[in-house]
Structure 1
Amino acid sequence: MILTAAIFILCAILVYNFKFYDLIAGFNTMSDDEKATYNIEKIARLFAIVMYSMAAIILIGYALSKWLDNEQIGAYGILIATLLGVPFLLIKANSKAYKKDSEND
């Protein structure tokens, strides 16, 4: 569980801080014209926030499983993090708010 959380944190750091945007699913297969229509900096920030949140949920689940001596709680932490984080990230990142055409900045 700790390894899973560490991987999420590492992915967040690589994408947001080191600009490894190709780690974002689908972005690496887009043409340059398609990539130009997205505000990748905003998507990378969203990606990092979601990955940090998922890691936090997993670590909280792990801590609770150790504290309450019930390994199932840790598994629920991973399940909850995945079921909440992945759909949220996919839906939010594909919204118009992250396209350059609809920016209000």
Structure 2
Amino acid sequence: MISYLIMALFILAGTMLYQGKWANLIAGYNTLSKEEKEKYDTPALCRFYGKMMFVISFSILLWEIGDALGSLLIFMFGTLLFIVSVVFTLVYSNSGSRFKK
């Protein structure tokens, strides 16, 4: 039950971020000054993190499906997807100047 609540919160946050809202939920971005925030392409940053929230919520769904079906393979695929997406997000968003104007 708690997993479904967490998944719903991730989908809600992903939807809001994808629409360009709730940018202050992005770690590090919320601590920038107004002048520093203007240097970033906020809509692109929000869209990227919104998509990543959808991927993470899908991995949580795979955990629940794997648990319900008793399939370790589906559960492990969800875990692999989660780990790869988190590592990708950290590397992609912090390397280079992808989201700077």
Q: TM-score range by the shorter chain?
A: 0.7 to 0.9
CA distance in structure 2 between the aligned counterparts of 1:23 and 1:97, rounded to whole angstroms: 19
Give the TM-score normalised by structure 2. 0.78
CA distance in structure 1 between the aligned counterparts of 2:92 and 2:57, rounded to whole angstroms: 19
2:89 is aligned to 89
**C-alpha deviation, 1:62, in angstroms:** 0.8
**C-alpha deviation, 1:66, in angstroms:** 0.4
2:69 corresponds to 1:60? no
**C-alpha deviation, 1:90, in angstroms:** 2.2
**C-alpha deviation, 1:49, in angstroms:** 0.8
Unaligned stretches of 5+ in structure 1? 101-105
Q: In percent, how many aligned pairs have the same letter?
A: 30
Unaligned stretches of 5+ in structure 2? none
Secondary structure of 1:89 counterpart: helix
CA contact (8 A) 2:20 2:47 kept: no
Q: Which amino acid aligns with 1:55?
A: S
1:7 is aligned to 9
Please give the per-residue CA displacement for 1:12-47, whole angstroms capped at 9, x wherever unaligned.
Answer: 122222611101111111011211111111111110
Give the TM-score normalised by structure 1. 0.76
2:99 corresponds to 1:98? yes
Equivalenced residues, count: 97
Q: Please, what is the CA RMSD of the aligned residues?
A: 2.3
Q: Which runs of 4+ in 1 moved over 4 A?
A: 73-76
Bigger mean CA deviation after superposition, 33-42 or 80-89: 80-89
CA contact (8 A) 1:21 1:44 kept: yes
